[in-house]
Amino acid sequence: MNKPIRKAVRCFIIDNNKVLAIKYKEPNKKAGWYDIPGGKIEKNEQPIQTAIREVFEETTLNVDKLERKGNLIVEYPDRVFDFEVFIAKKFDGTPADLQENSSEWIDIEELLSNNKILSNIQLLNEKYIGYLKDDNSDFKIHIYVDNNENIENIKVDNYSFKKSKKINR
């Protein structure tokens, strides 16, 4: 079976031991679940542009000095998400409570202990967070999940060092 693939981004914003997370609201089928800001890459849009746009749309924060950290594949039984992962080194604004979701700074350990987190949040786990924090890394991680968001397997397909390339908007 060929699974549909959706190209998207996630942008991690970490400040000390906290991360900016969003929490979906009704009528979203994932209401009550936490996620990292991001979304679908639109036609004729570069991933960096998507990250900046989506962070603003979902949190009202402006981000700058984005660094591409790697690629995260999240595979469900019937679909695949192919995420370009960024980290914002600079941000401005205050998280907002919006119609579709709220956004908030949350302690990383507290977020990881929540039972309603989408699988990309696993990148904050101590086993993988180094990939986000290392200025010279490039990763490819594949997470296999069931339709109930239970993680079945995590595979680090690739991890290498690269020349740090900071991207400013």
Q: What is the pLDDT of residues 92-147, one digit of tens each?
A: 999 999 999 999 999 999 999 999 999 999 999 999 999 998 877 789 999 999 99
pTM, full prediction: 0.91
Q: Is the pLDDT of residue 161 over 60?
A: no
Task: Please give the single-letter amino acid code of residue 120.
Answer: N
Residue 13: closest CA among 142, 113, 124: 124
How much is the pLDDT for 105? 98
**Domain topology for 5-161:** Nucleoside Triphosphate Pyrophosphohydrolase (3.90.79)
More confident residue, 162 or 141: 141
**What tokens were used for 101?**
């979701």
> 79 falls in which pLDDT band (50, 70, 90)?
very high
